[in-house]
Amino acid sequence: MENEILQNKDLKKTKKIIFTTILIGISFFLGLLVGVSNSDNPNFIHGEQKGELKNKKAEAPDYLSKNVDFKLFWKTWDTIRDKYIDSSVLDSQMFYGALSGLVASLNDPYSIFLPPDTTKAFNEELEGKFEGIGAEIGIKDEKLTIIAPLPNSPAEKSGLQAGDKILAIDQIDTSFMTPSQAAQMIRGDKGTTVTLTIKHGEEKEKDITITRDEIYYESIKTSTGNAQTDKLLNDKNIAYIKITNFNQDTEALFEKAVQNAINKKYIILDLRNNPGGFLTTAIKVSSYWVENNIIVKEVSQNKEKIQNFSSNGVAKLKDKKTVILVNQGSASAAEIVAGALQDYGLATIVGETTFGKGSVQDLTKLSDGSSIKLTIAKWLTPNDRAIDQEGIKPDIEIKISDEEYNNNKDPQLDKAIELLQ
């Protein structure tokens, strides 16, 4: 069906028929909090008791139990058209605002409607290049939070850390912002600035002004960036692989990294500050360790269906003693990899409890270039541990203090090296 935007008032009747059909089609699923998995990319991930999901249903007011009366929608539409002071507002603005409101009514920060320009920016980010500050953001403890700054990005260079709360963007309060709304405000042209009001731990809030830049990154690194540390790793026969995102270039780059790792005795897989990416990529990476077994389980929102995703390919690294580094900036696909290898005893997890973004988003592309991203399921590890809200708890918990961070100390990596000696 063509979702045309009709701006000609002479076509008002036709416009109502088409738009009402769209609303009915989308609204059918609102109460169930599920979406139709007809995306061109159904394997995109982009954040309870053991083995079951909590059903968090708030008591709904009486008016929500009544049948939907679409006359109210058109009465509202016509009232705005007849009375609103600014008559220059386009029908298309109201149309896209209504679509955004539909998805926002789910009260899920990871389910969003993306208009064409935002969809384009979103796709560019998945390709590993865009302009902005280079930070993944989400909701944690009901606050807008830095999930992870990207390596060598303006965000990282400014001192932003995983777990920092964003209280305001250019002095605008973020209390009721979704991650998508915040990202639109933070993103911008190279050379321009944005000021974030940040609260780090128990410290007083402070303003950090960041100059935006072109962000381009490869998702795999095989060097720590410290010549002395890299020499130590080489001397101890340890292969170091850092995955910054599970993006479009990850599989090919990881295969190259594995060719080097095969000649080493031990492996450190660094998933710190990795905000996630594609499910298929997480499965492919896990398959280098997990042989012929489940990587992750997908549980639908109505709990009637559990789908198992299993390893594929040759487990070339299954006999390599491995340590995985994680922190609170490790999310989504990174948690899937860490959780699977931990469940099978194929790796020792070192660091901090991960972010806890264990939900599945389906991306549906629309004919006008816009898209809908809907949460359709939750993830469980092979041993039925819930990832969402819980995160992956490390086998050995080690935190990096502010003093250590500021002095480029890395006790988590030091512990990994110690374990592999």
Residues 240 and 271 in one domain: yes
Q: Which of 191, 216, 241 is the endpoint of a domain?
A: 216
pLDDT for res 124: 67
Q: What is the pTM of this model?
A: 0.68
β-sheet bridge partners, residue 140 = 143
Residues 322 and 247 in one domain: yes
Task: Please tell me which residue, 210 or 104, carries the higher pLDDT value.
Answer: 210
Identified catalytic residue from 270, 343, 362, 410: 343
Contacts of 157 (CB under 8 A, 6+ apart): none
Residues 359 and 320 in one domain: yes
* Residue span of the structural domain in which 158 resides: 129-216
- The answer to whether residue 192 is domain-embedded is yes
Residues 392 and 243 in one domain: yes
Residues 181 and 256 in one domain: no
Residues 355 and 384 in one domain: yes
Residues 250 and 268 in one domain: yes
Residues 136 and 199 in one domain: yes
Residue 350 CA to residue 343 CA, distance in Å, equals: 14
Residues 233 and 382 in one domain: yes
Question: What is the pLDDT confidence band of residue 36, given thresholds at 50, 70 and 90?
Answer: very low
95-147 residue pLDDT tens: 999 999 999 898 888 888 988 887 877 776 666 567 899 888 888 888 999 98
Q: Which of 185, 216, 247 is the endpoint of a domain?
A: 216
Q: Given a cut of 70, is residue 7 above it in pLDDT?
A: no
> Cβ(142)–Cβ(166) under 8 Å?
no
User: Residue 294 is part of a domain; what is its CATH number?
Assistant: 3.90.226.10
User: Residue 182 is part of a domain; what is its CATH number?
Assistant: 2.30.42.10
pLDDT for res 313: 82
- The answer to whether residue 230 is domain-embedded is yes
- The answer to whether residue 120 is domain-embedded is no
pLDDT for res 9: 34
- Asked if 223 is an active-site residue, the reply is no
266-279 residue pLDDT tens: 999 999 999 898 89
Into how many domains does the chain fold?
Answer: 2
pLDDT for res 128: 57
pLDDT for res 127: 63
- The answer to whether residue 47 is domain-embedded is no
- Asked if 357 is an active-site residue, the reply is yes
Contacts of 243 (CB under 8 A, 6+ apart): 219, 220, 250, 254, 269, 270, 271, 274, 285, 334
Residue 82 CA to residue 117 CA, distance in Å, equals: 29
- The answer to whether residue 407 is domain-embedded is yes
- Asked if 213 is an active-site residue, the reply is no
What's the whole-number mean pLDDT along residues 138-167? Answer: 90
Q: Given a cut of 60, is residue 14 above it in pLDDT?
A: no
Q: Given a cut of 60, is residue 56 above it in pLDDT?
A: no
Residues 294 and 146 in one domain: no
Residues 244 and 335 in one domain: yes
What's the whole-number mean pLDDT along residues 242-246? Answer: 93
334-362 residue pLDDT tens: 999 999 999 999 999 999 999 999 988 88
**What percent of the chain has pLDDT above 90?**
55
Residues 206 and 311 in one domain: no
Task: Please tell me which residue, 24 or 391, carries the higher pLDDT value.
Answer: 391
- The answer to whether residue 113 is domain-embedded is no
The edge-to-edge listing of strands for the beta sheet with 348-351 is: 220-221, 238-243, 266-270, 321-326, 348-351, 396-397
Identified catalytic residue from 357, 359, 373, 388: 357
Q: Which of 163, 182, 216 is the endpoint of a domain?
A: 216
Identified catalytic residue from 100, 111, 330, 332: 332
- The answer to whether residue 1 is domain-embedded is no
Distances from the Cα of 65 to the Cα of 24, 31, 59, 60, 62, angstroms:
16, 10, 11, 8, 6
- The answer to whether residue 74 is domain-embedded is no
Using DSSP, state whether 122 is helix, strand or coil: helix
